[in-house]
Amino acid sequence: MLSRGRDNAFVIVTTLFAYLLMRSDIACATTHMVGEENGWAFDVVDWPKGKSFQAGDVLAFNYNPMYHNVVGVNQDEYDTCNPSIGSKLYTSGNELITLVKGPNYFICSFPGHCESNMKIAVIGL
């Protein structure tokens, strides 16, 4: 009977260890402050240049929600500054958004803001 309890404990610990090992990419994720000291602001479009991003990394968007927002969009919406009704809208002023593998596009949808380069494109590797 005691042996069965140890066997069960071993299975549970081994399963937990395997799960944590598979999810270790989350523990290694980096948080990037969008725009650094300026935050999510006009002319932030070049902020990603020269930086490396991994899928699972987190983008931290800090802004005043009375004047800005963040919208997750596709490439066409990014290029035209015209988000669709189904685009993901963030309005808290302190967003933490996890990057997916491949292209990740974000704009501010307040009138004229995206056109003033308040948008970023980030590739999650």
Domains, the chain, ranges and CATH?
Answer: 29-124 (2.60.40.420)
CA pair distance 74, 103, nearest whole angstrom: 8
pLDDT of residue 14: 43
- Write out the H or E segment, with its range, that includes residue 75: helix 75-80
- Structure confidence by residue, pLDDT tens digits, 66-100: 999 999 999 999 999 999 999 999 999 999 999 99
Residue 21 clears pLDDT 50, i.e. is over it: no
Is residue 117 left, alpha or beta, with left meaning phi > 0 and alpha meaning psi from -120 to 50?
Answer: left
